[in-house]
Structure 1
Amino acid sequence: MVLPAASTLCNIFTFILAGSPIFYSAAPRGSCASCCAIKEREDIKFMLYTRQNRNTAQLLHLGDDARLAQSNFNFNYPLAIYLHGFSESATGEKQSSQELKDAFLRRGNYNVILVDWSAMTAVPWYSNSVENLPVTARYLARFLRYLIDMRYPAKHIHLIGFSLGAEVAGFAGKQLQEWGIKLTRITALDPALPLFEGNSSNRRLTPSDARFVDVIHTDGGILGNPTAMGHADFYPNGGRPLQPGCAKQEIANNRWLGIIIGCSHQRAWEYFVESVAQPKSFPAQRCESSESIGACREAGNSPSFMGMGADPRLRGKFFLETNDAKPFGKNSRPRAIVSLAPRLPIAYKLPPNATRQTFVNRWPTVSGQQGNQDETDEQEDNNTLSNNIDSFLVT
């Protein structure tokens, strides 16, 4: 029997794995990686933003070492990776993706990756979007596993999802655990309700999907799911519509339907974005066990905080009230104090086809100094380190 050439076997192996919604190629880098690239999906894009490219995304591809090396991805910075909701896109002006990206880059030195899966969440095919959820989640999990294989620590990844994106995040967390990887934190922003009611088989998000799963509920019973599904579930203003200010805001903009559909739902990401700059802007009190959302308003001990400032040790349901216009947080200041995120002492590994010169302005040198661009970034806001770094340091 005549065996196929090694390169042919490699192509067959890669084709099978690239076409699988579950696995990504684990072939030795010296063999398969040198002969053929992993097939890239055109309907799911990973868009990298850093302080060096705030407004223009750099596309990262699964298994593309050279592209990663040439990008501004910095192994010394924490990673915030975000999944938008139905009918949105990662590039939409004033939509959740761009607002969240800008908030993190104002906060400090971050890698921000926006997952653009808008081709799979287009109006009006909502049911198709729900069916596409597992495909998106598995592909995202493969991408995160690729970064981790390149020596980026899983504990510094913060996965955030809005609406349908929240369920994708939960599914991805489960898939990673099948490979022995557990994320530090998943933040779910008003997880979707339609087609996820009750014990629906579409439901994916659970507390076991990461070491800390925090959920913000703002439109429970309409577009958002009111069910507690994290370690800490926050119910601002009871977690149901109408969120304060929605009626006034939508009438002023002549969007009458938005009073019922949309405004309260998007408040989840608006609250979270505000908390990125001011982690203690949304103080919340723990609720006693109750089936009635928001019925427990008894003041507890010292307040906890919803959003970026959530303590990963929190457990249970939490209630809070917000303002009816920006700034929404009761503790928010009119002008946010932007702090510099910590530079993490993370080990790194050069891809086999990259030279050390490629990385000189992004990765630490032998002496531990950063390149000139990073020094410029530090001068841009020379403030103290954020007090809220627990979510990056939990082990």
Structure 2
Amino acid sequence: MLDWEKGAAGPSYRSSAANTQLVGRQLALVLLNLISIGALPSSIHIIGFSLGAHIAGYAGRALLKRGIRLGRITGLDPASPLFREQFAATSMHSLNNQDAALVDVVHTDGAILWTEGFGLLKAIGHVDFFPNGGQDQPGCERVFASVLVSHLEGTVNSSTVCNHLRGFQLFIESMPKPEPSCLFRAWPCPTRELFRTGNCFPATCDVNSTDGSCGLMGYEADKGLARGPLYLVTRDAPPFCGDQLQATVTLSRAAPLPRGSVTLVLRHGSSSTAFRLHTEWVEAAAQQARQLVLGRRQQVGSGVTYKGLAAAEYGSIPSSLEGLSAKIYFRPGVAASRDRLQLYYVRIATLDGHSWTFCGREKFFESNDQRDMAVASAELSLGFC
């Protein structure tokens, strides 16, 4: 454990960021001493959170100048301010994939605008993990311009850094346990937008595959062969790791395209999992507000299909489960109606290749437990219709 409390204390963030280079070089000297008494560079693994990720990078770079390459560096939501590319003429060097034989990075509070997130959004390692897209994390309150708010208030509270801290929390949860436990499986996706809309969920994600199609986020990231940007979904509270699912819902087109929001609530045993499936109407509003969109409408044949992702409690949906119950809620938008709206198709898929489906025609009725909402129920059976 490297204690750099005095260097991190500031008096300002700029001072703390500047100190990362000096502390990184000091860490390199400590590691040189360890190597001189027999430690193998290939067995050294540095884990750094926020500014600590850049300290790890500076240490790796200092050793490279002496011809020594570290085995692995893990960056947990590396700090963004002053380390962003083209942030300023005096931007500092961030952790990158040249700093160790394996550089794995977890992004949880990235943002396109520097005021919106404490972490880097750009892929900088050999393998970069983007849980929930790498920006807004489930269970965290959305704080507009969180970096700017923190700077102006002169304080950091739990709301403004919730997304940022999640990177550290996810890594701690990924540490090996004596008993079999949940794995943070992740998969490649061409774009972040396709991931958010649930349109690149793999048929299977086998961490033992040799084709690099499935990776492991966290402590055992070196055991996965996948490289590049990888994506996954997590739960909104500890334990964050869960059974990752894709929901597909098709509504009728007997009426004009639904203008409103669609939510699927899946019930399995004593647990339930909610999917937010956004219609085109919600997407337009979300884009105006620069908010995260988790689902997208697709016209398929005579229906309109929505997809979304969520993580259920680990082990709550065994592959032997014969059926699932789902409720699909529709909240009409302005001047919208649920008249003639019908539910045609529902499918829930897992990363292990299992699925449960519903095929039929169910009408939407006024919800008794959700005001201003219409609801349709569906019983899903194991396999395909």
Equivalent residue number for residue 216 of structure 1 = 106
Residue 184 of structure 1 is aligned with which of 58, 71, 76? 71
Alpha-carbon contact 2:182-2:242 (below 8 Å) kept: no
Task: Tell me how many residue pairs correspond in the alignment.
Answer: 213
CA distance in 2, matches of 1:284, 1:189: 16
Deviation, structure 1 residue 295: 6.3
Seen in structure 2, the aligned counterparts of structure 1 residues 246 and 291 have a Cα distance that, compared at 3 Å, is: closer
CA distance in 2, matches of 1:262, 1:194: 14
Deviation, structure 1 residue 312: 5.5
Seen in structure 2, the aligned counterparts of structure 1 residues 296 and 181 have a Cα distance that, compared at 3 Å, is: farther
Alpha-carbon contact 2:175-2:219 (below 8 Å) kept: yes
Equivalent residue number for residue 119 of structure 1 = 6
State yes or no: 1:314 paired with 2:220. no
Deviation, structure 1 residue 167: 0.7
| SS of residue matched to 1:317 | strand
Equivalent residue number for residue 286 of structure 1 = 188
Equivalent residue number for residue 372 of structure 2 = none
Alpha-carbon contact 1:234-1:318 (below 8 Å) kept: yes
Seen in structure 2, the aligned counterparts of structure 1 residues 289 and 210 have a Cα distance that, compared at 3 Å, is: farther
1:167-182 superposed matches below 5 A: 167-182=54-69
Equivalent residue number for residue 70 of structure 1 = none
Instruction: Report the RMSD for the aligned CA atoms in angstroms.
Output: 2.6
CA distance in 2, matches of 1:230, 1:169: 13
Instruction: Report the AA paired with residue 205 of structure 1.
Output: L
Alpha-carbon contact 2:129-2:231 (below 8 Å) kept: yes
State yes or no: 1:277 paired with 2:176. yes
Equivalent residue number for residue 50 of structure 2 = 163
State yes or no: 1:232 paired with 2:135. no
CA distance in 2, matches of 1:190, 1:318: 14
- Deviations along 1:293-325, one digit per CA (max 9) or x if unpaired, are 856750235332111121363311111100111
Alpha-carbon contact 2:69-2:100 (below 8 Å) kept: yes
| SS of residue matched to 2:19 | helix
Equivalent residue number for residue 139 of structure 2 = 245
State yes or no: 1:136 paired with 2:23. yes
1:1-395 superposed matches below 5 A: 114-122=1-9, 124-199=11-86, 201-221=91-111, 222-241=117-136, 243-247=137-141, 258=157, 260-277=159-176, 281-288=183-190, 297-300=199-202, 302=205, 303-310=214-221, 311=223, 313-330=225-242
Alpha-carbon contact 2:195-2:201 (below 8 Å) kept: no
Instruction: Report the AA paired with residue 141 of structure 2.
Output: A
Listed as ranges, the gaps of 5+ residues in structure 2 are 112-116, 143-154, 206-213, 244-312, 316-385
Alpha-carbon contact 1:138-1:175 (below 8 Å) kept: yes
Instruction: Report the AA paired with residue 326 of structure 1.
Output: P
Seen in structure 2, the aligned counterparts of structure 1 residues 293 and 333 have a Cα distance that, compared at 3 Å, is: closer
CA distance in 2, matches of 1:322, 1:290: 16
CA distance in 2, matches of 1:257, 1:159: 26
Q: Choose between structure 1 and 2: higher helix proportion.
A: 1
Deviation, structure 1 residue 257: 7.3
| SS of residue matched to 2:64 | helix
CA distance in 2, matches of 1:245, 1:205: 28
Q: Choose between structure 1 and 2: higher strand proportion.
A: 2
Instruction: Report the AA paired with residue 233 of structure 1.
Output: D
| SS of residue matched to 1:134 | helix
CA distance in 1, matches of 2:176, 2:224: 18
CA distance in 2, matches of 1:297, 1:236: 16
Over the matched positions of the two proteins, sequence identity in percent amounts to 40
Deviation, structure 1 residue 259: 6.0
Seen in structure 2, the aligned counterparts of structure 1 residues 168 and 215 have a Cα distance that, compared at 3 Å, is: same
Deviation, structure 1 residue 199: 3.5
| SS of residue matched to 2:73 | strand
| SS of residue matched to 1:239 | coil
Alpha-carbon contact 1:239-1:294 (below 8 Å) kept: no
| SS of residue matched to 1:155 | helix
- Deviations along 1:169-227, one digit per CA (max 9) or x if unpaired, are 11111111111111111000000011112245302311111111100000112111101
Alpha-carbon contact 1:235-1:294 (below 8 Å) kept: no
Deviation, structure 1 residue 246: 1.9
- Deviations along 1:51-105, one digit per CA (max 9) or x if unpaired, are xxxxxxxxxxxxxxxxxxxxxxxxxxxxxxxxxxxxxxxxxxxxxxxxxxxxxxx
- Deviations along 1:349-370, one digit per CA (max 9) or x if unpaired, are xxxxxxxxxxxxxxxxxxxxxx
CA distance in 2, matches of 1:129, 1:183: 25
Listed as ranges, the gaps of 5+ residues in structure 1 are 1-113, 249-255, 335-395
Seen in structure 2, the aligned counterparts of structure 1 residues 117 and 191 have a Cα distance that, compared at 3 Å, is: same
CA distance in 1, matches of 2:120, 2:195: 11
CA distance in 2, matches of 1:293, 1:117: 38
